[in-house]
């Protein structure tokens, strides 16, 4: 048994890549254009063949009748001993051999052949054991057939082109509406529940709906229903949190008045958890409603992250900090601290030590060494009230972190490290001073800056672990 060499496998892979069709060949417009072209070509070929055969047969029959009629006249003149004329002769030179053989067998026939480069119709019959033949010019008939063929080809090409243009225009109108429907569906899946197709055919009852309008109307109805349900759930969450907030405040104050002891500690702990849950629900309801406003300012990312780490350590959550490169970011300090605090808390609650927070330019990563994030979180993101770590927590911490990151314009990603553990990566808009740019001109005035998101070139980096 022979084994495939690397070169052979490489050729196979390259051949497979070459045989892959372009993406545009899968579009509906391309398929419709190809179908229309093939059908038009087939129809044009069929009709052209029928017309060609019919006209050619008619033209040949007319020429044959004319040649046979002239042959009869020449035969009568030959039998009467009169001259046969210019185009009549016995065994003339150039007579086709098959027609000569037919005449010698006592039959009459006609054949078209070239004489001196001109198409000629021959007619021959028997005469005293020889072949008496006449010939007539077939040039005009041949030109008529050739002109007809050219006219068929030209008219077929024009008809195919016009049909293809009309079909492409019609199909493009349909595909444009389908693309609009798909675009609206993607906007809805991205969270824009106000997106609608608003096909005019679905708004006017007097107009008939086609299949695309039916799909568009169904999508709009689904989006409206989904939006109504989500708004109802958001209002319910906000109302429940607001209603619980007041009695929990009183319950917290009453718990502080209980005599010292284990029961009092349990009650106070449960009340604190209930108040924290209520505050999380209120925050989520505000994020869902999109009523959050940001207070952007320029902050050094490394000191701000170090402060969050110190706060985590003060609660007994031992956390390591690694600063690879510090930079300035434009962000909301309070919301950023909320995001980092939730990520660190989640790492300690659902992961395992050591928990390491790294700062590399505008990127902050939080890594633990536990079992990693569950598959549903990596695929669909955090989901409230869903957790797979023994029932600890409510799944709201990461949900709030994602929402607050979106508010401050940061990108929060979740992944599992191949060596084990979960990794959360937060990328913030970097703030770059003009004086720090290598291509900058004279030093800028104090406070002059470039818009967030511009890359900054650094001449040196720091690597600090605390």
pLDDT digits (tens, 9 = 90+) for 32-51: 888 888 888 888 889 888 98
pLDDT at 56 over 80: yes
Output the DSSP codes for 362-428: TEEEEE--SS---HHHHHH---TT---STT-S-SHHHHHHHHHHHHTT-EEEEEE-TTSSEEEEEE-
Q: Supply the pLDDT for residue 387.
A: 64
Residues in the chain, total: 466
Residue 79 neighbours by CB under 8 Å, 6+ apart = none
**Rounded distance, CA 317 to CA 315, Å?**
6
Work out the mean pLDDT of the chain and round it to a whole number. Answer: 81
Most confident segment among 82-86, 228-232, 419-423 = 419-423
CB atoms inside a 10 Å sphere around CB 203? 11
Quick one: how far is CA 140 from the chain centroid?
59
In this structure, is the dihedral angle defined by the CA atoms of residues 378, 381, 386 and 392, taken in order, positive or negative?
A: positive
Burial of 120 (0-12, 13-18, 19+ CB in 10 A): buried
| C-beta separation of 395 from 387 below 8 A | yes
Return the percentage of the chain with pLDDT > 70, whole number: 85
Task: For residue 460, name the pLDDT band (cuts at 50, 70, 90).
Answer: very low
Number of H helices, E strands in the chain: 11, 14
288: pLDDT strictly greater than 80: no
What's residue 454's pLDDT?
A: 37
pLDDT score of 244: 77
User: What are the boundaries of each domain within the chain?
Assistant: 24-192, 211-289, 297-465
- pLDDT exceeds cutoff 50 at 159: yes
What pLDDT, in 10s, does the model give residues 210-223? 888 888 889 999 99
How many C-beta atoms lie closer than 10 Å to residue 82's C-beta? 10
Average pLDDT value for residue range 133-145: 86
Residue 255, classed as helix, strand or coil, is helix
Task: Output the pTM of the full model.
Answer: 0.53
pLDDT at 446 over 50: no
Check residue 161 and give left, alpha or beta (phi > 0: left; psi -120 to 50: alpha).
Answer: alpha
The three-point CA angle 209-211-213 to 5° equals: 55
Residues 6+ apart with CB under 8 A from 63: 110, 112, 121, 136, 138, 141
The highest-confidence range among 266-275, 394-403, 411-420, by mean pLDDT, is 411-420
**Mean pLDDT of the region 195-215:** 84
pLDDT of residue 275: 78
Interval 192-213 mean pLDDT:
84
CATH number for region 297-465 = 3.30.565.10
**Strands 118-127, 130-137: parallel, antiparallel or unpaired by DSSP?**
antiparallel
Q: What is the pLDDT of residue 118?
A: 85
Q: How confident is the model at residue 386 (pLDDT cuts 50, 70, 90)?
A: low
Stretch among 103-117, 167-181, 424-438 having the lowest mean pLDDT = 424-438
Question: Is CATH 1.10.3720.10 the right assignment for the domain spanning 211-289?
Answer: no
């Amino acid at each position: 048994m022979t084994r495939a060499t690397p070169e052979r496998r490489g050729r196979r892979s390259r051949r497979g890549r070459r045989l892959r069709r372009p993406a545009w060949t899968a579009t509906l417009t391309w398929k419709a254009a190809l179908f229309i072209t093939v059908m038009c070509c087939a129809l044009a070929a069929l009709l052209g063949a029928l017309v060609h055969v019919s006209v050619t047969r008619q033209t040949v029959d007319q020429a044959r009748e004319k040649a046979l009629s002239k042959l009869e006249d020449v035969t009568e003149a030959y039998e009467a001993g009169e001259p046969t004329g210019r185009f009549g002769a016995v065994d003339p030179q150039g007579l086709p051999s098959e027609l000569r053989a037919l005449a010698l067998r006592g039959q009459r026939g006609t054949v078209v052949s070239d004489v001196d480069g001109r198409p000629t119709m021959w007619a021959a019959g028997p005469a005293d054991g020889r072949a008496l033949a006449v010939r007539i010019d077939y040039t005009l008939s041949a030109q008529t057939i050739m002109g007809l063929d050219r006219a068929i080809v030209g008219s077929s090409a024009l008809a195919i082109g016009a049909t293809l243009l009309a079909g492409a225009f019609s199909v493009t109108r349909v595909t444009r509406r389908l693309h609009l429907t798909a675009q609206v569906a993607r906007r809805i899946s991205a969270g824009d529940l106000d997106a609608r197709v608003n096909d005019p055919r679905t708004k006017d009852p007097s107009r008939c709906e086609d299949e695309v309008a039916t799909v568009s109307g169904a999508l709009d109805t689904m989006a409206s229903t989904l939006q109504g349900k989500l708004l109802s759930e958001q209002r319910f969450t906000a109302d429940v949190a607001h209603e619980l907030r007041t009695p929990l405040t009183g319950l917290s104050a009453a718990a502080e008045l209980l005599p010292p002891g284990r029961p009092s500690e349990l009650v106070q702990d449960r009340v604190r958890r209930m108040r924290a849950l209520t505050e999380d629900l209120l925050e989520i309801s505000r994020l869902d409603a999109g009523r959050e406003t940001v207070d952007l300012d320029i902050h050094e990312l490394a000191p701000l992250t170090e402060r969050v780490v110190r706060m985590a350590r003060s609660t007994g959550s031992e956390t390591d900090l690694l600063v690879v490169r510090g930079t300035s970011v434009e962000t909301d300090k309070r919301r950023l601290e909320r995001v980092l605090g939730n990520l660190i808390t989640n790492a300690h609650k659902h992961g395992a030590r050591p928990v390491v927070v790294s700062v590399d330019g505008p990127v902050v990563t939080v890594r633990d060494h536990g079992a990693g994030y569950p598959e549903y979180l990596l695929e669909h993101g955090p989901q409230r009230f869903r957790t797979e770590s023994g029932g600890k927590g409510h799944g709201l911490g990461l949900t709030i972190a994602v929402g607050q990151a979106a508010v401050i314009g940061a990108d929060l990603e979740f992944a599992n490290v191949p060596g084990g553990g979960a990794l959360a990566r937060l990328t913030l808009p970097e703030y770059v001073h003009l004086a720090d740019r290598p291509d900058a001109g004279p030093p800028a005035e104090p406070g002059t800056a470039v818009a967030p998101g511009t890359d900054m070139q650094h001449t040196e980096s720091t690597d600090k672990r605390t």
